[in-house]
Amino acid sequence: MTDGAPTDLLRVDLTAGTVERERLPDRWLTQYVGGKGLGARYLYDRLAPGTDPLGPENHLLFTIGPLSGLLPGEPQFAAITRSPLTGTFLDSYSGGEFAAALVGALDGALGVAITGRTDEPQVLELRDGEATLTPAGALWGEDAVATCAAFDDPVACIGPAGEHRVRFATVASDGGEHHAGRGGAGAVMGSKGLKAIVARGEPPERPPEIEALRDEYEERYREDDVGRWHAASATLETVDFADEVGVLSTHGWQAGRFDGAAEIGIEAVRDAAIDRERGDDEIPGGFRVETDDGESVPRGAAPMSLGAGLGIDDFDAVASLGQACDRLGLDVISAGNAVAWAIRADETDAVDAALDLDGSLSFGDDDAARTLIEAIAHRRGEVGDALADGVEAAAERLGGADLVPTVKSMEVPAYDPRGSPTTALAYATSDRGACHRRSLPAETEVFEGEGWDDTDRVELVIREQTITSALWCLIADDFAGAALESDLGAEWLAAIDTRAPADPAELLRVGERTWTMTRLFNVREGFDAADEALPDAFERPLSDGPAAGSALDTEWFDGLRRRYYAARGWSPEGVPTTSLLDRLDLADVVDEETPVARSAVTDRDSP
């Protein structure tokens, strides 16, 4: 066994200008391991109900796991806070050089927890397990690329969107190549006056037994279906897949297939690629293409949300829009949905959305889309300012409700559930709002779902959510982590000195416990079944594609959701029960302000 598993947490109070090192309870390290689980337990313990996400009392955590720097694939970190977009628990992940340096910079800590607010913008520097604050100076106002370039060491930072507290601002790293994207962690960072975090540290040395495991698991990953897919196309093939099966959100959720998909999909990227890099461990990197502002790394979300979603079939234009979001520090999924909402609101005369744009606004117009994206990032004009708070808030303020779907106020990713009904359940029950990373059943349903009943749908979503939660306690690479699914990292944990359980069944329970912990956080904030209703947009039939004419029925969906609650051990309102909390050793964790149900909904209660 090797030594040095992290056990501490750095605490930075920006108001007081103090830094402390806190020893985490052994029970937390055993029951939550690290990453998402640790962040969920910490936030529930330290954050008072009703805390303003953009207020000084909110906490922003950057966490790693006990295997960070050791596992195959890209090192990752989690940004964890209360979301300013949704009000829910938020965990958002990013990888790359900053994540790798963060492991060494924390030096035995599992993360850093930041609270308070500075009078003047600051930069937090992490080195050798210590933290120091220095003035940000002229960096405030710079974009993510310029901010990262100002330092010799890896940086995580915010762009103008975070500074202006856009509620879907990202935390960007590695020159804007990587982002902790969804839910607005960048806005929380901006509200605290924190421009950047610099990580000065080397990844841990890997002992021979760990190197042997890496070799073995990298080979497993290369032979895995996920590894083969990622090696061939990274995430860009999702555009072609979604279009072929009719689940590609097009023209603001009006169709499921895009005539220009071939122009923005994998072949277009291969034609435009000037370099395809692989990391030191030959885990595939991304395609790089030239844009007017430099290199860009297009991912599936950009051509889906900024391309098909906006009716733009010019690859260079889509790549340029994606890079604009990267520089500004904007989540591309929410940004694409915001522009799509504005176009549809303008077309239906619900809102004069082009009012601030000095011109027209229509699908296919990348110049107008770029102008609106800039306006959102800087809160310019009435429409830009309204959309900076999210689509749902903009509709409440200006009109144009139900044009673009949201769940818990988060804009929905571009996989349309009218062509994959199980995806609607995954979106609705996601702990941070509409999300395709906790569970993405579309990829299974379209190929294997013939003959499925609602029990099959529920089982798939729960299994994927629970496994993902377990792996995110380790903060495994989103893709290379597929090689860990057989035992959830138990073999790795057995090779190091850690309090985390090295048992697959117990690690699965860690995943369920973590998912329940985030549920407890959300129900304490007032969320229940009403917040997981089917968006009205999905009741309207698709106009095009293989799923043309398909729509979802609210009564059917409500029954499906009740079956999910029954399988989770939750009440009809979506509240965890005493028996579930007893089984997961959470009974003594729940405070008096958190609703707890006596009995769960049962299958007999479902239609």
- Give percent of the chain with pLDDT exceeding 90: 72
- For domain 8-200, which architecture applies? 4-Layer Sandwich (3.60)
pLDDT confidence tier of residue 287, bands split at 50, 70 and 90: low
Q: Where are the domains of the chain?
A: 8-200, 231-411, 417-605
Residue type, 585: D
Average pLDDT over residues 3-24: 89
CB count within 10 Å of CB 241 equals 20
The angle at the Cα of 466, spanning 464 to 472, to the nearest 5 degrees, equals: 100
* Whole-number pLDDT of residue 592: 96
Q: Give the total residue count for the chain.
A: 607
Task: Provide the greatest CA pair distance for the chain.
Answer: 66
In angstroms, rounded to a whole number, what is the distance separating the alpha carbons of residues 315 and 321? 10
* Residues 363-366: contacts with CB under 8 Å, at least 24 apart: 363/251, 363/252, 363/310, 363/311, 363/312, 364/310, 364/311, 364/312, 364/313, 365/312, 366/310, 366/312, 366/314, 366/317, 366/318, 366/320, 366/321
Summarised one tens digit per residue, pLDDT across range 336-347 is: 999 999 999 999
- For domain 417-605, which architecture applies? Orthogonal Bundle (1.10)
The angle at the Cα of 179, spanning 109 to 401, to the nearest 5 degrees, equals: 125
Q: Please report where in the chains the tokens 């999702």 appear, as a residue.
A: 238
Summarised one tens digit per residue, pLDDT across range 180-235 is: 999 999 999 999 999 999 999 887 888 888 889 888 888 887 776 665 555 555 56
Per-residue burial over 560-577, b if 16 or more Cβ lie within 10 Å, else e, is bbbbbbbbbbbbbebbbb
Output the 3-class SS for 527-589.
Answer: CCHHHHCCCHHHHCCCCCCCCCCCCCCHHHHHHHHHHHHHHHCECCCCCEEHHHHHHCCCCCC
According to DSSP, the residues that pair with 91 across neighbouring strands are: 80
The whole-model pTM stands at: 0.93
In angstroms, rounded to a whole number, what is the distance separating the alpha carbons of residues 567 and 569? 6
CB count within 10 Å of CB 314 equals 16
Domain 231-411 in this protein, CATH class: mainly alpha
Summarised one tens digit per residue, pLDDT across range 20-77 is: 999 999 999 999 999 999 999 999 999 999 999 999 999 999 999 999 989 888 899 9
Summarised one tens digit per residue, pLDDT across range 160-194 is: 999 999 999 999 999 998 999 999 999 999 999 99
Helix (H) or strand (E) holding 178: strand 178-180
pLDDT confidence tier of residue 266, bands split at 50, 70 and 90: confident
Reference 473, options 46, 30, 74; nearest CA is 30
Helix (H) or strand (E) holding 90: strand 89-95
The angle at the Cα of 547, spanning 543 to 552, to the nearest 5 degrees, equals: 85
